[in-house]
Structure 1
Amino acid sequence: MILHFDADAFFASVEQAADTKLRGRPVAVGGERRGIIASASYEARKLGIYTPMPTARARKLCPNLIVLPCDFDKYERFSHLMFSYAYDFTPIVELASIDECYLDLHGARQTKACDAAAKMQKAIAQSLKLSVSVGVGTNKLVSQIASKLRKPHCFIEVAPGYEQGFLWPLENKWLPQVGPQLAARLNTAGLRMVEHIARTPVDELSLLVGSGAPALHDYALGNDLRPVVCDAPAAKSYGEQETFAQDTTDTAFIIARLRAMADTLMRRVREDGKSIRTVTLRLRYNDMDEVTRSTSLDEPTDLEHDLYPLLQAMLTRAWERRVSVRLIGLRFTKVYETGFCNVLPLEQSDMKRERLHTLSLVVDDLRRGNRSIMRGHDLWLSQHRQAPRQTLPKPQLVTDPTASVTNRVLRERHSTGPQIISPTARLAVPALNVKSCYSFLDSTLTIPAIIAAAAAHDMPAVALTDKNLHASVPFFEAATAAGIKPIIGAELCCDKKPLLAYVQNVRGYQNLCRLLSFNNDACITPAQMHDYREGLIILAADSTAVALPEIRYHKAEDKVFFDIVQSMKTLTLLHEKHAKKRRGDLAFHPPAQWSYSAAAMQAAQDIVLQCEFAFDFKTLRFPLYTPADGSTAAAMLYRLAHDGLRNRYGSKAKQHEAQLREELSIIAEVGYEEYFLTVWHLLQECAALGIGWITRGSAADSLVCYALGISNVCPIRFELYFKRFLNRDRMALQKLPDIDIDFAHDRKDDVVRLLLDRYGPEHAAIVGGFNTFQARSAFGDVAKVLGVAENEIRRLTEHMPWTDARHAADAVGGAAAHGLAHGRDARWLSTLRQDAPLRRGALA
């Protein structure tokens, strides 16, 4: 039999064992300021404390919680003493971790498992004052699960032959390899219990699990051939992470810290005589959401210089959201012996690597001796006091809508620092007629796909010419970040002739917005075109004088997916002809394959030089608010807020003046006074007309909103946090907060009328949203294009989980797992699953 010993709440229990004053009291081990709880005593767990929980939240739940820093030297001493009792019963002991071990009693025939477990539990409790849970089974899997099933201080023995009876009623999360994501995927497929997994054929299970399906299936059957290994295994990974003292958006600081981590970890790698091949970056946002990204080298390395170029790209891939970063971590895996990556220094590059390796060893020796030596990123961190830079710009209110835009666009690129893109630079051939998936069901190109293709073709500029401007902002940001000049354009119709309009300046952008408002489904008139063509370059869409190839999908082999979305739009079968289905080659070919003259190519370059428009994302633009008493907006907001505070709190108002002043200072710093007054004035008019409202979202955290009567939720009473609504980090990311207000459905038109009457249709607009496909509807519509009967579609979709089109492939896999795809169904179901990744861009 095999025994598995697992210490209960080990870190916290050690602290209680070492200090009698802590026994019986709620104790936690972890970060004191900004970390998380690493271990909590069972007294603390009864109060809702768990791991991993942010320390700040734990203190709110339990003000009397005793939080202690980690003392790994102490924990290792207790671990060594605790597991030394195991050798009294068998020499075959495997230390699985600092608080877990396995004992193999197959050779100790005179020793009963239950007796050995009871003696060890008693000895550890008496001498070390620690509690351990014990599981007994025929293999590692069963004994480990048994020890964890009913903690603390439990003993469960599973007799031989009863493994399946013990395992099968348990949830799938108890099996090795099953983490939260895989558990959710298995639950979606109906495999919630271990028994379900055991009864699922391996080939079907592999659709959900991949290559790990055979091992998982064996575990579900209660089989585990892993032996108890006495020798401690060599390190299989090297890792380090850091929780910042303050959330940051400073890319340079994060890169410098990642490089410093790489230096530390690689020094450990070299000391162990190892080399690594896979690097994983971990990033945690300030809302505790986490992302990991990994990359693998072609060959193992023990040089940090090989990793420096990877860190920037990995951070860019991981940092997908406009949210400040709280924690970063780095982990090296795929560990090899150093000799694996040794080469003969016969070429210049190999000689350079040999010199770098020698230099790294010297640097290791110097740092080991605490001598002063720094790399460039270490010096940068030292100069900035190991803290991120404060990068929030001071916002300015621009009142002139026709303010000129410079023809030199400055943007910060992550890898090379500030870049100045000048229109006078020599340009190659641009793509000036690209349609995105915002041309609904008329293109399969997402914005990232457009930028990637343009970069692959070394294009200096790209023009987006959808029949709307829905994608103009994300397109502009993505192109600028990639070093590609974005040209804002649109397709118009005048006298039933398709035209392409390109924005030259701010006036041109305003006029294009006006023309698109006229355009809709009908054509604009020549008179409207004449009145609003200033600042625009207007060309016939079929002009041969300018290189204007129409682009609607990436590669020639993607035409089938474009045909699918065209068929969905026209409600036809895939190969059914329709007048509105587009013909011809609409792929994104490199300019070398274009059939245009040199003059047409030059004309396209000339258009790029004439288009100087750039969005200004750094300047806040709010409606001007002029107080009737002639004071400034800041003075009026200050007066209204203090008056409202006294009205709300009466004699207790002075207790909250400090918080009110702090909020007003932040509002003033980010330039939000006029915004607050604009919302306040609108709601005053609504109140006069008897129109009620509810303020929701993070705006309810603001004491200023409560004092002005914008919100009726008291942030003091409910301990709400104002900086969740408005803070400097959020503004640095250009993530502008707003005040969400709900009106009764039968009074919304009255509110719209109030705004239009006050500001006029020239300065007020109704904002719409985009409806996106869900997995079932996307799957069903594509199946209809392929000629599948509706009853067959329903037979499959009714077993698909509710998710969006981006996860349609997983949903289709869930339907297949139900055994619903047989015969001819299997062929088109397989086709749909292969197409799913490209359909996501077109449908989502």
Structure 2
Amino acid sequence: MQIIFHVDLNAFYASAETSSQPSLKGKPIVICRESRRSIITTASYEARKFGIHSAMPLFKAKELCPHLVIVPPHFELYKTLSEKFFNIISTFSQELEVASIDECYVDLTNYIQVHHQNPYDVAIEIQKRVFSELKLECSIGIAPNKFLAKMASDMEKPMGITVITNQSYKQKIWPLPIGNMFGIGKKTAPKLIELGIVRIGDLAKYENYEKIKPIFGKNALIYYQKANGKDYSKINVAHNELKSIGNSTTFERDSQDEDFIKSVFRELALEVSSRAKKRDLVGNSISITLKYTREKSKTKQMIVDDYTQDFDTIYATALLLFESIYGGEMLRLVGISLNNVKHVEELQQQISLFDHTQIQASKKEINETEKVIHRLNSSLPGLKIMKASDLIKQQSTIQKKYLENNE
């Protein structure tokens, strides 16, 4: 039987700030920018005692806790700590799947068999290492599959360890409200409750299977199986590969001022280019996001001629995409993403499979062209010149989720 851990850093952003600023320890803090329309990213456990939670508007949190401490986000700190956290976990097993910046699934079956250790003792060892090296607390769920491990890690926070087995899952998860089941969203839970499926145990009943089909569609069997403690999904190491580098920003007030919006795109392009260069990553697709309201947003992307991390290329493409889809509406958020990213070394290995001389000549020609365009744009600030080839291969889609590192 496989042994899966789900390791979840507790109140990660808030804990990260406390680890770097010990004076914040024990105080009710929230992570967000100080502005009229800020939304809380993370709340410390001290702040949660006042009823404050993530996604709550900052003004409401201040009403609940007048002495609330507001800390602006420091994403580079979070990324650094996150990488160190995953590095620690990977010393126990390389079969690790990153679920988000602060949580992962890890298959410890082989480690436990080789070292003849009790899974609970291994979990304690992980907690001790994470805290001693990073000053971060984590909760751990231990189970025979990913779903039960995730459910277990949410049961005791902070610094909890919960074990769910094939024999105990009925006692552990069936009495829980249906809304507590991982994968059941806020919109789905009320629909299930209307059908009399109030607890996870109700979803596990065969007589309710036909009822849930209209709600879950082709995924009905998956949810039914999970409610019965079964999850056949495997640890997906490939999921850890970074597919894009993105950045976005929410305006202090909605705006339709195109000069202002373009200046924001410039700052975002600089940030995306800088992050790509730091990680030695290049991409051949650039996309932008325009968000009009909480519900309405649009994204459009363009394939560029060559893999790039160049600021001018990212910025110019973003402006072209913006001008092609913007109709003068009020905007609340804009974003840029560099997609289909590869590490420079990986790209060089792929290039070596082809005629090196031909590709070098082609790349030299492209680079010289970009240099000329850059000089022209620098000398003509009111004009933006682009290669004609950048005008093709466009694709438009409706945005379905936020870009990486939304603020």
TM category (shorter chain) comes to: 0.5 to 0.7
CA distance in 1, matches of 2:271, 2:220: 33
Does the C-alpha gap of structure 1 residues 192 and 334 become closer, same or farther in structure 2, counting only changes over 3 Å? farther
Q: Distance in 2 between matches of 1:244 and 1:75?
A: 23
Q: Assess if the C-alpha contact under 8 Å between 1:255 and 1:312 holds in 2.
A: no
3-state secondary structure, aligned to 2:240: coil
Q: Does 1:292 align with 2:300?
A: no
- CA distance 1:70–1:152, change in 2 (3 Å): same
Structure 2 counterpart of 1:272, from 282, 288, 291: 282
Q: Distance in 2 between matches of 1:191 and 1:227?
A: 28
**Equivalenced residues, count:** 342
Cα distance, 1:261 vs structure 2: 8.5
Output the amino acid matched with 1:32.
Answer: E
**Structure 1 residues 88, 295: closer, same or farther in 2, change over 3 A?**
closer
Q: Does the alignment pair 1:63 with 2:66?
A: yes
Q: 1:778-797, aligned counterparts within 5 Å? A: none
Amino acid at match of 1:16: T
Which has the bigger relative contact order, CA under 8 A and spacing at least 6?
Answer: 2
1:553 counterpart residue number: none
Instruction: Provide the C-alpha distance between the structure 2 equivalents of 1:207 and 1:309, rounded to a whole number of angstroms.
Output: 41
Question: For residues 69 and 189 of structure 1, do their structure 2 counterparts lie closer, same or farther at Cα, with a shift above 3 Å needed?
Answer: same
Please give the alpha-carbon distance, in whole angstroms, between the structure 2 residues aligned to 1:364 and 1:159. Answer: 65
1:295 CA drift (Å): 6.5
CA deviation string 1:21-56 (max 9, x = no partner): 222222222212343322222112223332123334
Partner of 1:328: 333
Partner of 1:3: 5
Tell me the alpha carbon deviations over residues 136-183 of structure 1, each in whole angstroms, 9 at most, x when there is no partner.
011111111211123222111001343344333223334444322233
1:215-237 superposed Cα distances (whole Å, 9 cap, x missing partner): 33333332222222345633456
Q: Deviations over 1:697-756 (max 9, x none)?
A: xxxxxxxxxxxxxxxxxxxxxxxxxxxxxxxxxxxxxxxxxxxxxxxxxxxxxxxxxxxx
The residue matched to 2:159 in structure 1 has which SS?
coil
Q: Deviation at 1:65?
A: 2.3
| Structure 1 unaligned residues grouped into runs of 5+ | 285-289, 320-324, 340-357, 378-844
Structure 2 contact 290–334 (Cα < 8 Å) conserved: yes
**Structure 1 residue 102 and structure 2 residue 105: aligned?**
yes
Q: In the alignment, does 2:141 pair up with 1:141?
A: no
Other-structure match for 1:153: 159
Shift of the 105–233 alpha-carbon distance from structure 1 to 2, 3 Å rule, reads closer
1:362 pairs with one of 357, 367, 370: 370
After the TM superposition, which residues 2-401 of structure 1 pair with which residues of structure 2 at under 5 Å, given as runs? 2-34=4-36, 35-108=38-111, 109=113, 110-199=116-205, 204-230=211-237, 233-236=240-243, 239-245=246-252, 247-248=253-254, 250=256, 252=258, 256=262, 272-275=282-285, 281-284=290-293, 290-294=294-298, 301-302=303-304, 304=318, 307-308=321-322, 311-312=325-326, 327-330=332-335, 362=370, 366=374
Cα pair 2:243 2:341 within 8 Å, conserved: no
- Residue type of the alignment partner of 1:292: K
Separation in 2, partners of 1:249, 1:199: 51
- Is the 2:4–2:146 contact (alpha carbons within 8 Å) kept by the matching residues of 1? yes
For residues 572-583 of structure 1, the aligned pairs below 5 Å read none
Note if contact 1:105-1:111 (Cα within 8 Å) is conserved in structure 2.
no
Of Structure 1 and Structure 2, the greater strand share is in 2
- Whole-angstrom CA distance in 1 between matches of 2:218 and 2:170: 23
Amino acid at match of 1:184: P
Larger Rg: 1
When residues 178 and 80 of structure 1 are mapped into structure 2, their CA distance, relative to the original with a 3 A threshold, is same
3-state DSSP class of the match of 1:107? Answer: helix
Q: Distance in 1 between matches of 2:236 and 2:291?
A: 31
Does the 8 A contact of 1:258 with 1:311 survive in 2? no
User: Distance in 2 between the 1:184 and 1:154 partners?
Assistant: 29
Q: Work out whether residues 140 and 224 of structure 1, in 8 Å CA contact, stay in contact via their aligned partners in 2.
A: yes
Q: Secondary structure at the match of 1:224?
A: coil
Mapping 1:482-521, distance limit 5 Å: none
Q: Tell me the secondary structure at the aligned position of residue 67 of structure 1.
A: strand
Q: 1-side partners of 2:372 and 2:177: how far apart?
A: 48
Q: Name 2:388's counterpart in structure 1.
A: none
**Structure 1: distance between partners of 2:184 and 2:35:** 32
Q: Distance in 2 between matches of 1:49 and 1:12?
A: 13
Q: Is the 8 A contact 1:279 1:333 kept in 2?
A: no
TM-score (norm 2): 0.67
For 2:373 and 2:150, how far apart are their aligned partners in 1?
43
Tell me the secondary structure at the aligned position of residue 231 of structure 2.
coil
* Secondary structure in structure 2 of the residue aligned to 1:47: coil
In 2, Cα distance between the equivalents of 1:279 and 1:190? Answer: 43
In structure 2, do the counterparts of structure 1 residues 81 and 262 end up closer, same or farther at CA, with 3 Å as the change threshold?
closer
> Equivalent residues in 2 for 1:669-684 (5 A)?
none
Q: Give the secondary-structure state (helix, strand or coil) at the position aligned to 1:244.
A: strand
Give yes or no for contact 2:269–2:336 (8 Å, CA) kept in 1: no
3-state SS of 1:180 partner = coil
Separation of aligned partners in 2, 1:88 and 1:78: 16
Q: Which amino acid aligns with 2:282?
A: D
Cα offset for 1:207? 1.9
The code of the aligned residue for 2:136 comes to L
Shift of 1:265: 9.5
Is the 1:4–1:134 contact (alpha carbons within 8 Å) kept by the matching residues of 2? yes
Task: Specify the SS of the correspondent of 2:235.
Answer: coil
CA distance in 1, matches of 2:219, 2:380: 46
Name the amino acid aligned to 1:77.
Answer: T
AA in 2 matched with 1:224: D
Point out where structure 2 has 5 or more consecutive residues left out of the alignment: 305-316, 348-365, 385-407
Equivalences for 1:594-673 in 2 at 5 Å?
Answer: none
SS at match of 1:94: strand
Deviations 1:512-563 (A, max 9, x none): xxxxxxxxxxxxxxxxxxxxxxxxxxxxxxxxxxxxxxxxxxxxxxxxxxxx
Contact 1:262-1:307 within 8 A present in 2 as well: no
**Distance in structure 2 (CA, Å) of the matches to 1:230 and 1:84:** 14
1:249-270 CA deviation, whole Å, 9 max, x = no partner? 5364686578669967997999
Check conservation: 1:2, 1:136, Cα contact below 8 A: yes
Identity among equivalent positions (%) equals 27
